[in-house]
Amino acid sequence: MKSQSYHFLDSITAILLGLIACLHWSAWSSYPPDVDPINFIVALRTYNISADAPHPPGYPLFVFLGRLSSIIVGEQHAYQLVNLVLLIGAVLCVYFLFRQLGYPKIGLSAAILLMTHPLCWAATVVPESYISDMLLGCAIVSWIVIMKARPKPLVIGMALILFIFGLLRPVSCLLLLPLSVASIMLTAVSHKKRSGIITAITGLFAIISAYGFTIFLAGGVQVYRAATDRVMGNAVRNFSVFAGAPISAHVTMILKLLIWFVLLAAPAIFLVGICLTLRGRSLLSQSYFNKALKIGLFWILPPFTFYALVYYLKPTYQLIYLPCFLIPISWATQEGLQRLHQKIKWLIIGGIVVAQLCFFFFAPSTLPSPIYQLSHSYFRQKDIAWEQLLQDLHPLRQESTLLIWADHPHLTPYALRLLDWAEPSAVLNQENGSLQYFFPSTMTWLPSNTESLTISDKYRSVAIIYTSNGIGSIQTVDLTHPEMRKVKNLLHLM
């Protein structure tokens, strides 16, 4: 009877995941919205970490999977297909974890909540790699719980998992290594201490090996170090007080981290709080509750501490511990609130799922910008801007036109990296009004004196990309008149 119930839930899970996957496919962004996705797209053509194709740490496995999937869906949606597979992998890990523990309904609820969460959608419908962090955490806990009675396969499997994900996001592997050790110490049937120590040693070796392989692909230690310092080093120096950033910048970063952390954790805290109020003593006395709490702390604290001390930029970073906020919701609904009828429990889960999907697909642009950027409307706005830009530039695909990127309301100057005919281009620094030549293929900037700079004779015209009435516009200037070759005169036209 129990087996039949499991098979029924397995079928329901497969059907629901299939339907959500189709919905996910319909929401894929057609163009990269920001600089990191642009770098990933460039890497599909030429893998070169020194030229930010992609940016450090390099993500060789992610790029390789992107190239494979591009054969199926093309370059525009290559990484989106990879992300969908990684997302499905994460939710299946959660489902089979709780199926193994004898709570398939919790697993099903948590899987659906994860797959429909706006943070997951925002990180997967574009060329980004953050969803692999979530899969890594889910894979670690699921593998350890499922293999807890078999120490040797458990340790070997953990080393393999950390090596594979080290080729995706090595820093995340280091941040979740304490989770793997703690999970073994708390759940393994035998040889807990020995298995934990071996996992820590072999896991660290696996991560370093993956990192070393990435450095080799980059062209050596010096090349990789220079690229890392230029990209990640500058980022850390801008935000972390320990790297020389102003205290105000670091405090602002921590506040952003805390605000998003509270927003993500609030529903779980609320529901678990109700359960503790109703069944406090009986819950706290159960060993599995205390073990789950400890595993959750080791899942959350290392990444959170790293973000608070070193570097935190956007909410999708917190995908690494998002399951810790959604699994408690599923548990509280299915097991914590025991007196509720089963239909009411599923209605609560269904209501949360609908709310999550409605937010992603219908969130208005009037929301605060950081929240609006998690919505489908935001990515669609970027796609429309891209389509308009490419349409306007199509007649100018010739060597005799120089592109000058002055400003655009929705796109970054790094969009020039995807215009293989626009090399070099020029970018206007909005802060000081100076113009720099930009070589997109090598990510090289050539400073210039705007006052005395003139446009080369090989160009017959200039196309200036700028903002007009809140939209991106292009003004073409004929360079037949000598005065128009002076950059300072061109800039007065905008």
Which has more pLDDT, 177 or 189?
177
Contact 56, 236 (CB under 8 A): no
Look at residue 31 in the predicted model and tell me its pLDDT: 94
Chain segment 95-145, per-residue pLDDT in tens: 999 998 888 999 999 999 999 999 999 999 999 999 999 999 999 999 999
- Compute the C-alpha angle 289/287/98, nearest 5°: 55
- Compute the C-alpha angle 306/309/310, nearest 5°: 75
Which of 8-22, 440-454, 471-485 tops mean pLDDT? 8-22
Contact 250, 239 (CB under 8 A): yes
Which has more pLDDT, 2 or 350?
350
- Burial degree of 26 (CB within 10 A; 0-12, 13-18, 19+): exposed
Q: How confident is the model at residue 436 (pLDDT cuts 50, 70, 90)?
A: confident
d(CA 38, CA 310): 25
Torsion angle of C-alpha atoms 12, 14, 20, 22, degrees rounded to 10: -130
Contact 169, 57 (CB under 8 A): yes
Look at residue 1 in the predicted model and tell me its pLDDT: 45
Look at residue 492 in the predicted model and tell me its pLDDT: 61
Chain segment 404-422, per-residue pLDDT in tens: 888 899 999 999 889 877 7
Which has more pLDDT, 118 or 459?
118
Q: How confident is the model at residue 75 (pLDDT cuts 50, 70, 90)?
A: very high
CB-based contacts of 248, cutoff 8 Å, min separation 6: none
Chain segment 179-216, per-residue pLDDT in tens: 999 999 888 767 788 888 999 999 999 999 999 999 99
Contact 131, 120 (CB under 8 A): yes
Asked whether residue 394 carries a pLDDT value surpassing 50, the answer given is: yes
3-state secondary structure of 48: strand
Contact 41, 418 (CB under 8 A): yes
Torsion angle of C-alpha atoms 5, 10, 13, 19, degrees rounded to 10: -120
* Residue whose entry in the numeric block shows the structure tokens 């797209």: 41
Q: How many CB atoms lie within 10 A of CB 344?
A: 11
Asked whether residue 494 carries a pLDDT value surpassing 60, the answer given is: no
* Average pLDDT over the chain, rounded to an integer: 89
Asked whether residue 378 carries a pLDDT value surpassing 90, the answer given is: yes
d(CA 449, CA 493): 18
